[in-house]
């Protein structure tokens, strides 16, 4: 099994939020990073945050197989191999929509991005990690505390995050013969644009709208880097990182 220190990463959803925080944390720590996302300008903004870092911006829609193939081809062409995939790209979908009113197109978009996109990227990573020398690598899937407990009106997002847990377990098993370690980080209330509404008020299970605590997204990024820099003989299978006082454990 390959136990060398990894140093080449692909980060999806790298143009904002958690993806940007993880990408810059890796770049500042000496990793080479292929930045993937739908908006090239946002990826270039991420790269500019670490101007001396070894980064490559690749416009990618993770729900498109050809885009994903192109992403990994570009990463290998530039850096020679792939040691880490942070499978992060995702969307919550329309907020505040009851399940009976959720348009099928909206459901399909969330599934295509959060689940199908994660599968396509993991599949491409498996192919590369199996054939490269030394063989192996690591995949970290960005789950959510919604992989354990839903919020109101979140059927599409919650369903995909539960499915991602199954994908993580299956990939972890299938990766064993090839030195491919697969784990998942479940995140609750990291302060990003996507969670800005939490501080002003979020719908609770009892119907009340209440503000919720958030945590610095940099703490998530450091946790991902810790998982990523373990030797391949060790794996964090599941990690949960959340704002300490958010209404998650117990009754809120």
d(CA 250, CA 236): 24
Angle between helices 65-79 and 117-131 (to 10 degrees): 40
Residues sharing a CB contact under 8 Å with residue 156, sequence separation 6 or more, in sequence order: 93, 102, 106, 107, 110, 111
Active site residue 157: yes
Q: Spot the catalytic one: 104, 157, 178, 248.
A: 157
137 token code pair: 């690598």
d(CA 172, CA 182): 5
d(CA 47, CA 27): 9
182 token code pair: 């697969």
Q: Which residue has the tokens 């670490």?
A: 50
Q: Which are the catalytic amino acids? A: 157
């Amino acid at each position: 099994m390959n136990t060398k220190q990894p140093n080449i990463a692909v980060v999806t959803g790298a143009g904002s939020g958690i993806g940007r925080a993880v990408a810059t944390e890796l770049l500042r720590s000496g990793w080479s990073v292929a930045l993937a996302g739908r908006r090239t300008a946002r990826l270039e903004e991420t790269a500019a945050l670490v101007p001396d870092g070894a980064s490559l911006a690749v416009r990618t829609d993770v729900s498109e197989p050809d885009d994903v193939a192109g992403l990994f081809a570009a990463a290998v062409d530039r850096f020679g191999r792939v040691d880490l995939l942070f499978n992060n790209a995702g969307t919550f979908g329309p907020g505040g929509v009851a399940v009976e009113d959720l348009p099928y197109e909206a459901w399909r978009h969330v599934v295509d991005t959060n689940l199908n996109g994660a599968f396509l990227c993991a599949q491409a990573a498996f192919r590369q990690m199996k054939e490269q020398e030394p063989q192996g690598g690591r995949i970290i899937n960005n789950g959510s505390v919604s992989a354990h407990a839903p919020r109101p009106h979140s059927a599409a997002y919650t369903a995909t995050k539960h499915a991602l847990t199954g994908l993580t377990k299956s990939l972890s098993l299938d990766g064993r013969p090839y030195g491919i370690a697969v784990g998942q980080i479940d995140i609750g209330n990291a302060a990003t644009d996507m969670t800005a509404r939490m501080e002003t008020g979020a719908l609770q299970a009892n119907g009340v709208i209440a503000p919720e605590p958030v945590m610095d997204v940099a703490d998530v990024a450091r946790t991902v880097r810790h998982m990523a820099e373990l030797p391949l003989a060790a794996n964090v299978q599941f990690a949960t990182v959340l704002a300490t006082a958010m209404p998650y454990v117990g009754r809120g």
